[in-house]
Structure formats: C-alpha cells, structure tokens
Amino acid sequence: MPLSLKRPLSGAFISFGLIAMLALAACGSTSGSTSAAGPKGCMKIGVLLPESASSARWESKDHPLLEQAIKTALPGAQVTVTNANGDDTTQLNQAQADLTAGDCILVVAPHSSSAAAQIVQQAHQSHVPVIAYDRLINDTSLDYYVSFDNVSVGVNQGNYISAHYQQYVQANGNNNIYFIDGAQTDNNALLFKQGVHQVLDPLIQAGSLKSAYETFTPNWDNPAAQNEMEQALTANGNKIAIAYVANDGMAGTVIQALTAQHLNGKVLVTGQDATVAGVQQILLGNQSMTVYKPIIKEAQGTADLVAALSKGTSTSSIVNGQTAYSGTNIPSVLEQVESVDISNVASTVIADGFITHADLCNGIPAGTYGSGAGAITCP
C-alpha cells in the first residue's frame, strides 16, 4: 500500500509569486524525451543522492523512504541507492555504474544542478529516463521533476520573519538581518532566496530591516556557514536581530557562532528540513522556526512515477504541474510545505511521525517546552 502521512497536511503556505517559475497546471505527458524507447518493463532503479554532511535528511529520511516507496509501488523492483557525498564526479561515476549494471530508470537528487545535466545526457543515450528528485537538473530534456514548491519555502521563512521581526529589533536595538543562503550551484537555493526576498525586500526598502550581510554557502557546508556568521558579526560589531539561514544544518553552526557571542536565543534564526537537531534547537529557544517538507509525499510521488513508467501507464494523474527551464516545461510533481515553530511541533512533525517524541527528547534536558496544546514534555 502507498505511504501516507498520519494526518492531512494543513497550513501549507502557497506562493503566488511562484507562478512565473512554476505553472501549477495538470500536465498530460506520459513520459519525457526518452519515450521512443521507453522504460516499460524496467525493474532496476538507480537512486542517486547528493550528500549527507549538509543535512541529515538525505540518509535518515530520503534514502529509506525512497527505497520503501519504490519497492511498494513496483513489487519486485531492485533499487540501488548511492550517495555522492558532495562530489559531482563521484555522482557521475555512480550514474555510469548504474547504467552499466542495467538500471533502466534513474532518480537523481543532483549535487550540482548544472553538473548533473551530463547524467541526463548519458542516461538518454541508453534510452533511460531521469527523474530529478528534490533539486532541478538544468537540462531541457529532463523527463520529470519531483520536489516541493521551493519558492514557497523561502516565502514561509520570510513570512515568519515578517510576523516576528519587530520584537527582535526592539530587544537588540538594531534592525540588521544577515542572509546565510544555500549553495549557488543548487537551483533550489536560488528559489529559496527568491522566495524570502519576495517577502522581505519591501521591509528592507522601507528601512524596517537592514540587509547587513548576505552570501551563498558552497556545498551547503555547515562549518562554512559558521565562519560566515562569525565574519558577519565581526564586520557589524555583533549587531544583529535576524539570521536568515536557509536550512537546519547551517542554522546549527550559525547558532554556535551566536552562542560564542552570548547572542543565542536573542536572535531570530530560521531553518529548513525539520531535522531532529533543528527542532531540538527550536525547543531550546535557539532557533525560531524551520520549514517542514513532508519527504514521505515526495518519495511517494517519485515511486508513483517510477511504477507508471515501468508499467507503461499514463502519468497524467500523478503529474500536477510544470517547471519552466530555459524555454521548456518539465513535467513535475510538486508538494507543499509547512512552517513549524514552538507552537505547532506537536501537531506537525510529531503527529506525522516524521520525528518521534523519543528522538526529539534525546539529549534535551527534562521539562516542558512550549505551552498549551502544542507543548512538548521531555522526561
């Protein structure tokens, strides 16, 4: 049976600013550029993940969920999962090894959106379709793309800052915001940045917030994010009210830099991925919010595409949008995201089983965090 969430996803924030990038209209394509030969009958699936150091999600969530979902949707399927560990050449070599071994559908979460175009080209030479997973691959012949509304990730982060920044500005006596963006080679990072600036640029232009620092972080490297925050603090005399940080992994090291200056808990810090470590920081008061992306739905959408391609059936009921890239519309499956803070940890990531209560409380001092119906009590 297909994977499912324990509760209906609610409270998703939809970005209308995404219309220019993503047209969320049903797409009737049954396959992409490899349809002439087609993957019908394929039972060997190669899954390529980008890294593990940038976020715990890739091995703790995506790896097992993808493998389980594909094997459930396509009984008897052989699924090979590899991880490039942050290296483009390694990922290309892994794709070549999969093709040599006879894998006939590739699911690729690219380390670099541009570098992975070579994987698409080589796969198509063998009449193997490629599904870009989570991150777009910059190739107009890409067959499918499964991800989230990635501009809305940034919009969620921006909306949270917009709703809460004033109390931090007042408490810190300045209105400085630092932007620690993701990797410029990751198309998603560009969309996250687009979304957050869509919300916050009017506040910056009005003088309500001052953009004091912004940088991309190569490879989403967590130690690099800490160095960036340390440099920004030094350059601005430790004056900061808001730290926009693109994901939880980098937020954790940014918090280390803030802690060294006795600023942790005093600065609004954003994140993304709803990792255990990130949500723990929310409970402890060091991180303000994260963006929850129900990876189980992303994995299921991918598995449904794989099964349809193998069975030779239409994907029109699976695909729910198109992603525009260089004049081409890529058939896409796009899921929505949800903002999480101390008020709704219990009703979102805990209720869905995305994080267990035991894992969340592991290493956290005993006590009750939050209040009311959303409170989390750790023994």
Domain boundaries, the chain: 16-148+295-335, 150-288
Q: What is the pLDDT of residue 32?
A: 45
16-148+295-335 and 150-288 share one CATH topology?
yes
The residues of the chain scoring below 50 in pLDDT are 1, 8-37
Q: What is the pLDDT of residue 3?
A: 53
> For residue 2, how many other CB atoms are within 10 A of its CB?
11
Alpha helices in 131-266 (DSSP H): 150-172, 187-205, 222-235, 248-260
Q: What is the pLDDT of residue 178?
A: 98
Task: Give the integer Cα–Cα distance in Å for 215 and 178.
Answer: 9
To the question of domain 150-288 being in CATH 3.40.50.10860, the answer is no
Q: What is the pLDDT of residue 54?
A: 86
Q: What is the pLDDT of residue 19?
A: 36
Q: What is the pLDDT of residue 373?
A: 84
Single out the residue of 319, 287, 338, 314 nearest to residue 5, CA to CA. Answer: 338
Q: What is the pTM of this model?
A: 0.85
Q: What is the pLDDT of residue 7?
A: 54
Q: What is the pLDDT of residue 38?
A: 63
The residues, ordered by sequence, that sit 6+ positions from 94 with a Cβ below 8 Å of its Cβ are 46, 48, 82, 84
The residues, ordered by sequence, that sit 6+ positions from 2 with a Cβ below 8 Å of its Cβ are 69, 72, 73, 300, 303, 304
Q: Under CATH, which number does the domain 16-148+295-335 receive?
A: 3.40.50.2300
